[in-house]
Amino acid sequence: MSKTLFITATDTDAGKTVVACALLRIAAQQGLSTLAFKPVSAGCEKTGDGLRNQDALDLWSEVTEEMAYEEVNPIAFEDPVAPHLAAQRLSQPISVEQLNKSYQYLLNKNADLLVVEGAGGWRLPLGQGQFMSDFVKRHELPCVMVIGLKLGCLNHALLTYESMLANNINVLGWVGNVVDPDMAYLEDNIASLRKLIDAPNLGIVPHLDDTTNAASYLRLPF
């Protein structure tokens, strides 16, 4: 039976892509067919093939099934800012309907696992009063929350988690990703998160020079 996971985070640069790629790799190692979806991206590079986002490229490199880049990342902006601001500057509103159609197209491919990675944090604005969290809620996507382990992470994690619960989101688990290798009381913070968040801890990813090794620190939530 096919499954979908939405990867969200407590903030930008918390480690969503590292975790999403690691989960895709674990699934492939278990013999599962996989697809990836990065609905909206910003901070893209101009190439001869069009705009390309590094996070989306990383996801694309991990899937087992054939995909075009535009299937992975249908809406892309060059400016490295919140996507709705980049869209405003270009007078090109983000089409949530396009995102819904792109998602449904991938869902119809019936891969064993479709990993969907958000942009920024949980409440990323899409413009016109819409948020990425609305997309997740509409499709009833189960979520994995990535917590960037640094000073302030407890507050960020709880605000994100409580917002998800208030929207009746199924939080399958959380991952701690060490973004600050010098974080004081790291283990104490992790212990606090395990007490405060009523969802399974799927792993703690240390600060890595080679993030392709992240899969060895994680497990799938099912």
Count, residues in the chain: 222
Residue 14 burial (C-beta neighbours within 10 Å; 0-12, 13-18, 19+): buried
CA distance 140 to 134: 10
Nearest in space to 34 (alpha carbons), one of 157, 127, 119, 117: 117
| 171-195 as b/e: b if 16+ CB within 10 A | bbbbbbbbbeeebeebeebbeebee
Given 16, 38, 150, 195, the catalytic residue = 38
Examine the residue annotation and report whether 38 is marked as an active-site residue of this protein. Answer: yes
Catalytic residues: 38
